[in-house]
């Protein structure tokens, strides 16, 4: 499968996402899945949310198309990969529905956390888990069953929440996810992980198509429907992709790719603990909020964070090259 084969996959996902997003917007209004303005939120009028449904649908439909028409060679999929692919879609669908229900009914944080743990367990059941770690001193360190399960759950739940928390400005999450997908796509190509690369480029195209309607001023929000799904998918794809590498410091590569949401989330946890507040209690002190307080406008903050994410992505690519 040559690199040019990925271009149609991206374009198909982009086009489907562009076509479906207005429909999802109408459905959101019809079923009253809207974000109401309040003191913490940036918008001033009710906004349709659940836009992640368009991203999810475009992603799934694109993969069905590239499989059916042979744009992606079927012989790339071995029996074990079919099993993992089914687990990925099953868990992804579950987390999407969890987010959709949350967008409609505002679920308690504990219920959402429980749902995320269940979604992580689905991945583990289907063989998507962190089996080993690498370091520059002792080589490969294989994990026994329980450390593997615990680390996998921590990574999946942690990254899912990190992407969820950073979704605070129009276009921010979709753009950062697109950048992360592109970086992980390049790494997957370099490692010969063509199935993972196809999934990543389809997800990237789906996000970019949605971004047409989500960039400031947004016509629809991603909602937890999208933020939970994207965080979950990126966590899972990094496990079967970048984290499967035997290269030295392989674990550091996805951490660099997701550095912005990871460290923003860690800062939020520390900040809330120091103030004696619940760690899941929302606030307006995230990194993007601080940039707004410095005087940058909405678009300037988002573009700056795109650039920062891109810089961290380049650092991840450089580390991947050196660590080979």
Whether the bond into 36 is cis, omega within 30 of 0: no
In this predicted structure, what is the pLDDT of residue 91?
A: 98
pLDDT tier for residue 245 given thresholds of 50, 70 and 90: low
**What's the mean pLDDT in 84-102?**
96
**71-77 mean pLDDT:** 55
Instruction: Specify the number of domains making up the chain.
Output: 1
Instruction: State pLDDT tens for residues 147-177.
Output: 999 999 999 999 999 999 999 899 999 999 9
Percentage, residues of the chain above pLDDT 70: 89
Mean pLDDT of 231-237: 97
User: What's the average model confidence in pLDDT over 58-80?
Assistant: 75
Owning domain of residue 10: 3-323
- Residue 186: is its pLDDT beyond 70? yes
Tokens of 18: 């562009």
Distance CA 311, CA 317 (A): 10
């Amino acid at each position: 499968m040559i690199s040019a084969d990925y271009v149609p996959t991206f374009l198909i996902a982009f086009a489907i996402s562009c076509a479906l997003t207005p429909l999802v917007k109408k459905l959101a209004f019809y079923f009253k899945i809207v974000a109401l303005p309040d003191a913490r939120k940036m918008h001033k009028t009710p906004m349709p949310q659940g836009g992640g449904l368009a991203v999810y649908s475009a992603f799934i439909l694109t993969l069905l198309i590239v499989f059916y028409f042979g744009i992606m060679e079927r012989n790339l999929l071995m029996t074990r990969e079919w099993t993992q692919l089914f687990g990925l879609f099953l868990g992804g669908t579950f987390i999407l529905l969890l987010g959709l229900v949350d967008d409609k009914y505002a679920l308690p944080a504990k219920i959402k956390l429980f749902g995320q743990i269940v979604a992580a367990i689905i991945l583990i059941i289907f063989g998507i888990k962190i089996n080993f770690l690498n370091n520059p001193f002792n080589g490969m360190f294989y994990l026994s069953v329980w450390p593997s399960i615990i680390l996998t759950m921590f990574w999946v739940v942690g990254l899912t929440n990190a992407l969820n928390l950073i979704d605070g400005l129009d276009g921010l999450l979709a753009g950062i996810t697109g950048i992360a997908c592109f970086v992980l796509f390049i790494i997957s190509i370099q490692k010969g992980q063509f199935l993972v690369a196809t999934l990543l480029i389809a997800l990237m195209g789906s996000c970019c198509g949605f971004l047409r309607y989500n960039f400031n001023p947004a016509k629809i929000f991603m909602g937890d429907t999208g933020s939970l799904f994207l965080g979950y998918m990126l966590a899972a794809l990094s496990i079967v992709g970048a984290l499967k590498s035997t290269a030295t410091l392989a674990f550091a590569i996805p951490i660099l790719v997701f550095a912005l949401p990871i460290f923003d989330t860690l800062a939020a946890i520390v900040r809330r603990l120091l103030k004696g507040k619940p760690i899941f209690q929302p606030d307006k002190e995230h990194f993007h909020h601080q940039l707004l307080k410095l005087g940058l406008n909405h678009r300037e903050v988002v573009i700056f964070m795109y650039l920062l994410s891109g810089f961290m992505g380049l650092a991840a690519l450089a580390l991947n090259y050196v660590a080979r």
